[in-house]
């Protein structure tokens, strides 16, 4: 699950970024609406977190403009503005509204819930051969046996399952498992694929397509 965090307070931005990444999310960050707009123009996100009041303006207006253009990515506002009127205005455009100061565990739970809700995301339960991925619970099973996967392993396997037996390019898999600020090392994907193969067990279903990437097939 990929999240964009837009927050001008550097300490809070770093704390939110670290907490979300530690919980298995791929995280991109922006310090103002210009940075956020650029990130949204080139990346697909499962959820976007906006600080309400930014140096470049109130993000409420920005989200309103995008909503009128048909944008439907789930949005969570972070704000110190806690009046009933403020909350009503925020919830008219966003999907959730969290008042500062907040518990990081609550933020993570709310972001995870919004990522599950996104219209652009995959179906809650995905299947291919004897693999089953519950994207809501972040659980994977093969032949009914639960697999213990890291966040990156789950994200890469999910992208392969969505491809339904078609080869997936290396770049697509790294985009699924890693974010822009912490790119993978040169052999990180190969290491992750080896770990996945071990955890998936036999008979092997994860295969290399030379010059392209990887594919799931029986």
Long-range Cβ pairs for the range 127-134 (8 Å, 24+): 127/161, 128/160, 128/161, 128/164, 128/165, 128/216, 129/205, 129/216, 129/218, 131/157, 131/161, 131/200, 131/205, 131/216, 133/157, 133/158, 133/161
Residue 2 has pLDDT above 60, yes or no: yes
CATH number attached to the domain at 125-216: 1.10.10.10
Long-range Cβ pairs for the range 52-56 (8 Å, 24+): 52/77, 52/78, 52/79, 52/80, 52/81, 52/86, 52/90, 53/79, 53/80, 53/81, 54/6, 54/8, 55/8, 56/32
Please tell me the distance from the alpha carbon of residue 38 to that of residue 69, in angstroms, as a whole number.
Answer: 16
Strand order in the sheet with 96-99: 26-30, 2-6, 47-51, 75-79, 96-99
Q: Could you give the residue range(s) of every CATH 1.10.10.10 domain in the chain?
A: 125-216
Instruction: Tell whether pTM > 0.85.
Output: no
**Section 134-150 average pLDDT:** 87
Q: Please, which pLDDT band fits residue 82 given cuts at 50, 70 and 90?
A: low
Residue 62 is classified by DSSP as H
Q: Could you give the residue range(s) of every CATH 3.40.50.2300 domain in the chain?
A: 2-117
Which tens digits make up the pLDDT trace of 26-49? 899 999 999 999 988 888 899 999
Please report where in the chains the tokens 């291919």 appear, as a residue. 128
Q: Please, which pLDDT band fits residue 179 given cuts at 50, 70 and 90?
A: low
Mean pLDDT, all residues of the chain = 85
Residue 106 has pLDDT above 60, yes or no: yes
Which tens digits make up the pLDDT trace of 94-105? 788 888 888 999
Contact by Cβ (8 Å): 70, 26: no
Please name the CATH architecture into which domain 2-117 falls: 3-Layer(aba) Sandwich (3.40)
């Amino acid at each position: 699950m990929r999240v964009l965090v837009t927050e001008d307070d550097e300490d809070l931005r770093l704390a939110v970024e670290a907490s979300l990444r530690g919980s298995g999310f791929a995280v991109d960050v922006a310090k103002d609406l210009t940075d956020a707009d650029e990130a949204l123009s080139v990346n697909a996100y499962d959820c976007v977190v906006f600080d309400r009041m930014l140096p470049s303006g109130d993000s409420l207006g920005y989200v309103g403009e995008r909503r009128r253009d048909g944008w439907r990515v789930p949005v969570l506002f972070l704000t110190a503005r806690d009046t009933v009127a403020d909350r009503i205005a925020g919830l008219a455009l966003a999907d959730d509204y969290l008042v500062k100061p907040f518990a990081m565990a609550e933020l993570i739970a709310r972001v995870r819930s919004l990522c599950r809700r996104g219209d652009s995301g995959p179906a809650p339960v995905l299947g291919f051969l004897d693999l089953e991925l519950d994207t809501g619970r972040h659980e994977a099973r093969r032949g009914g046996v639960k697999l213990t996967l890291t966040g990156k392993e789950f994200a890469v396997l999910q992208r392969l399952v969505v491809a339904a037996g078609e080869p997936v390019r290396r770049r697509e898999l790294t985009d699924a498992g890693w974010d822009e600020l912490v790119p993978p090392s040169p052999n990180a994907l190969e290491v992750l694929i080896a770990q996945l193969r071990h955890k998936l067990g036999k008979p092997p279903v994860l295969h290399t397509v030379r010059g392209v990437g990887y594919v799931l097939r029986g």
